[in-house]
Chains A and B, each alone.
Chain A
Amino acid sequence: MLSLEPPGWGGNLLRGLMNSLQIAVGGYALGLLIGVFTACGKLYGGIITKDILGCYTTIVRAVPELVLILLLYYAGTDVINQLMFWLGKDPVNINGLAAGIFVIGVVQGAYSGEVIRGAVLAIPQGQLEAARAYGFTGWQVLRRITLPAMLPYAIPGLANLWLIATKDTALLAVVGFSELTLETRQAAGATRHYMLFYCAAGVLYLLVTLISNHVIGRIERWSRRGFYQV
């Protein structure tokens, strides 16, 4: 049943896993990018920027991911097709992968923004003041001091977010993107071996989590080098 060749469904599950991982990695990276900008805006922006970003993080964290995925999926497709219409081009079919990465990225951005904001606030002020006293520009302070110095504080939260991102990809099954959970459902439905396939998919997700935990442990030790060991 689980063999990789066509009579078995193992190949389909692995393809689904690859799709899930692609979305998780892409969405997580996009989320980090959005998160860094959100955190900067919330910390250093003007009052209007702060309030708008506050609305973004509050709304995304209060509405279920499933609803957000549907909203962003349809709204995003509509907006792009409207743009295409104005530019006088034919409507395009949105690639499921891109849509998934976009949706997960927007959701993750709100959470990672909060994590990074907290981590930046945890940096001892003296380090930033010292950098400014040495004549670093704002960009240099961000790249050389703020981002590296906040890492040890941010990594536990960001690691949690990565695990959430891998599990959130399962929600894209609802909009019909063939990631691991949907592939599993199709395999189970076709062969009527529900228990076998769902357990196999569970093991795959668990493997991803366990390997991630191992890697995260190493990254955390690396980022804390120079700190005293607890």
Chain B
Amino acid sequence: MNDLSSENALSGNPGASSPVSAGLLSRAAASGFALHRIVMAAVAIAILVICALQMRWDWLPEYHDIIFEGLWRTVWLLIASVVIGFLLALPLGLVQVTGPAILASPAKAFCNVIRGTPLLLQLWLLYYGLGSVFPAIPEIRDSWLWPYLRQAWPYALLSLTISFAAYEAEVMRGAFAGVPKGELEAAKAYGFTPWQIFRRIWMPRAIHRALPTLGGEVVLQLKATPLVATITVIDVYGAFTRVRQDAFLTYEPLLLLAFIYMLMAGALVVLFRYLERRIPVK
């Protein structure tokens, strides 16, 4: 507590001397030394410290477990839906580029329907709609799937996966179409089988081209995960909703939640920047 308040006094300093620093700004910018960045960082730290000291955080130890459980569930849902969704997107995108019309048009229709309706509606359709149909079918009630189908998370994972697959199929369609024809013809001339061409040339090249877009899409997918809290899956958003209801607090949990999501989005951005750097470019 003591060192926190001394930090507060320190960070109050640049804020008080802001007229002086404003006068220095032009000179600082000219010398390439971003003084205003330091001032802004100080202001940000001051706001954080004020938040930490002035707001109520005594509920944190009590809800610590449920928050970490929710965080784990969010991460797990994100990774599973991104991996499965991307594996589905590869064939969905490919058939739209080369496939026969009988495969291409259903894939296109699937993409358009999923991308044209809100995810929340799809989620509720699957959970409430299918959830009300399944119990009426005795074969499903007796099957080994039933214990899973009675829970909420399979529906959450299914709808997140379908939605990611539809958006990514569109991205991959563009990426597959954008690979230069000459590279594929060269592979063919060297006697590659069609499967080898796909695995060795076409898919890696398409993924390289799509990687910046994919990074953005994964962040969007992270931002879609809190919707699962509306069908009783306690992810990190759901955990904080419970905190808000139990502790009668409005802002503190929401601010911390926003901060957590920003950290996760930042981690994803860093991860994809690392992946992009690993691609050899001429």
Binding site for B on A (CB under 8 A): 47-48, 51-52, 59, 61-68, 70-71, 74-75, 78, 163, 167-171, 173-174, 181, 184-185, 188, 192, 194-195, 198-199, 201-202, 205-206, 209-210
Contact residues of B between 75 and 128, Cβ < 8 Å to A: 112-113, 115-122, 124-125, 128
Q: Which residues of B contact A63 (CB under 8 A)?
A: 223, 258, 261-262, 265
Which chain B residue shows the least CB distance to A206?
B116
Q: List 14 A-B contacts (CB under 8 A).
A: A51-B36, A62-B261, A64-B226, A66-B226, A75-B251, A171-B120, A174-B230, A192-B132, A194-B129, A195-B132, A201-B121, A205-B117, A209-B116, A210-B116
B227 touches A (CB below 8 Å): yes
The residues of B that contact A195 with a CB separation of less than 8 Å are 125, 129-130, 132-133
A64 contacts B224, CB within 8 Å? yes
| Nearest residue, chain B, Cβ from A77 | B250
**In the complex, A168 Cα to B119 Cα: how many Å?**
9
**Across the interface, do B125 and A202 meet the contact criterion of CB distance under 8 Å?**
yes
Contact of A198 (CB < 8 Å), options: B113, B125, B237, B266: B125
Least CB distance from B106 to A in Å reads 16
B128: chain A residues at CB < 8 Å are: 185, 188, 194, 198
Given A71-B258, A195-B132 in contact, is the A202-B29 Cβ separation under 8 Å? no
Q: Closest A-chain residue to B244, C-beta based?
A: A70
Known: A64-B223, A170-B121. 9 other contacts (CB 8 A): A61-B219, A62-B265, A64-B237, A170-B119, A194-B128, A194-B132, A195-B129, A206-B117, A209-B117
Cβ contacts under 8 Å, B131 to chain A:
194
Contacts of B250 in A (CB 8 A): 74, 78
B187 within 8 A of A: no
Q: Which of B25, B118, B133, B251 contacts A181 (CB 8 A)?
A: B118
Chain B residues lying within 8 Å of A66, measured Cβ to Cβ, are 226-227, 237
Contact of B254 among A70, A174, A198, A201 (CB under 8 A): A70
Inside 8 A of A62's CB, which chain B residues have their CB?
Answer: 219, 261-262, 265-266
Given contacts A62-B219, A201-B121, contact A47 B258 (CB under 8 A): no
CA distance A83 to B86 in the complex (A): 49
Cα-based distance from A198 to B262 in the complex (angstroms): 32
Let me know if A181 and B116 touch, CB within 8 A.
no
CB <8 Å contact, B29 and A67: no
When the two chains form the complex, which single residue of A169, A192, A194, A205 contacts B116, counting CB atoms closer than 8 Å? A205
Find chain A residues with CB under 8 A from B29 CB.
47
List residues of chain A with CB within 8 A of the CB of B42: none
CB-CB under 8 A from A184, the residues of chain B are 121, 124
Bound CA–CA A171/B131 (angstroms): 21
Min distance, Cβ B260 to any Cβ of chain A, angstroms: 9
Whether A71 touches B254, Cβ cut-off 8 Å, given contacts A195-B132, A198-B121, A202-B121, is yes
Given A74-B250, A74-B251, decide whether A181 and B120 contact each other with a Cβ distance below 8 A.
Answer: yes
Interface pair A185/B124, CB less than 8 Å apart: yes
Check B48 for interface membership: any CB of A closer than 8 A.
Answer: no
B277 at the interface (CB under 8 A from A): no
Q: How near does chain B come to A103, taking the closest CB pair, in angstroms?
A: 13
By a CB distance below 8 angstroms, the chain A residues around B251 are: 71, 74-75
A51–B37 CB distance below 8 A? yes
Contact with A along B122-152 (1 / 0, CB 8 A): 1011001111110000000000000000000
Q: Are B121 and A67 in contact (CB under 8 A)?
A: no
